[in-house]
Amino acid sequence: MNSVTIINPAKLVFGEKSFEQFVTDYIALGLQRLYIVSIPPVIAQISDALKTLQQNGVTIAINGSIAGEPSFNDFEKLLQEARDFEADSVVGIGGGSVMDAAKLVAAQLKNTQTTAEVIGIRNLKQRTTYMACIPTTSGTGSEVSPNALFVDDTGAKVGVISPFLVPDAAYIDPALTVSLPASVTASTGIDALTHCLEAYANNFAHPVIDLIALEGVRLVAKYLRRACENGNDMEARSQVALGSMYGGMCLGPVNTAAVHALSYPLGVSYHIPHGLSIALLLPYVMEFNLSAAPARYAQLALALGAEPGQSEEETARRGIMQIRRLIRDCQLPASLEELNIPYDSIDKMAEDALKIQRLLKNNVRVLTQQDAADIYRAAFNKVYESSEEI
């Protein structure tokens, strides 16, 4: 059995009115200068709560500039702003990019290490500033993970991964996800499901994380359609948010694998939203991996809602069909061609994907550059329309 280290936030609050609990808890801490990283629609949504903080003596600075995947240049601007403000606490309220940026700002606010020195795994050595995360999407799980991802000067997507990036507190309020469009609900939900799926079918899988991962797959597979069809369905929103939280809990101890590695070039080179990149590639990576771990993929298929087949492989293939149905039902694009990805970019994307060895080492089947190119080609124009095939 592999060893496993699990580090979660010291305080984790889940459920409706969690944001109100954050306000109460923050006031009790006695902190006075709060730096918030968020986005304009969310800032408007929480304005009343921010007034309550201000009425209790809290001075607030808000940055709403993170519109997509953050670069280190974006981060440095936030960090300087937070230092000039003399923040004593940092909170990220938004999606994964917002929370990742907030997490690193909190860590670097009083750290003597440079940004270059903290890039990578366990290179960040400290964080002394209070930090909380409040997600407004159900996808990244950043609110409970030790990861923060950024785009560097070369355009590559790189990570800062450290236990010091696990927030002091996470408040997961499904009500904050109600205003998400169906397309964002769908793509972030598939990302959450994939965090769990790749943690279960993983060279470093662990029995403790297996329990969380399978339950996360089950919850998202069961409730994501409902959340997309009716954004006000609070049961569906809550269950998908719970599945997303489980996915985030998988990221530190086990992490993801080939689906995420292959998704990065789509995001960096063509600015495809991360969750959508994941959805486009997931069925094809599952097909590639199946022969290396049929028992694992059979269990995932059952969690996805598939009926048992006469063999593990048959059950596993039914699971892949379940994924395709889910992606189709959530009305996500089914091919790279639909997003105008140039076909002649496949070899370069495969080359770039193979550089993400920190994730590919987790994959249950060794993946070569040719394999990566073949997966991209399979995903390029394969559209599932036949009801018999789906």
- Domains, the chain, in order of start with CATH, read 11-177 (3.40.50.1970), 182-381 (1.20.1090.10)
How far is the CA of 147 from the CAs of 52, 155, 252, 268, in angstroms? 31, 19, 7, 18
Report the percent of the chain where pLDDT is more than 70. Answer: 98
Q: What is the mean pLDDT of residues 118-134?
A: 96
Stretch 294-301: mean pLDDT: 98
- Residue 33: strand, helix, or coil: strand
State CA 216 to chain mean position distance.
13
Q: What three-state secondary structure class fits 6?
A: coil
- First-last CA distance in the chain: 37
pLDDT band at 385, cuts 50/70/90?
Answer: very low
Strand spans (E) along the chain: 11-14, 33-37, 59-63, 89-94, 120-121, 130-135, 147-151, 157-161, 169-172
Which DSSP letter does residue 34 get?
E
| pLDDT for the residue numbered 243 | 97
Tell me the pTM: 0.94
Count, residues in the chain: 390
Give the pLDDT mean for 22-47.
Answer: 95
Q: How far from 31 is each of 25, 47, 123, 130, CA to CA, in Å?
A: 10, 19, 28, 9
> Sorting pLDDT into bands at 50, 70 and 90, what band is 1?
confident
4-8, 188-192, 216-220, 305-309: least confident range: 4-8
Segment 311-318 long-range contacts (CB within 8 Å, at least 24 positions apart): 316/290, 317/290
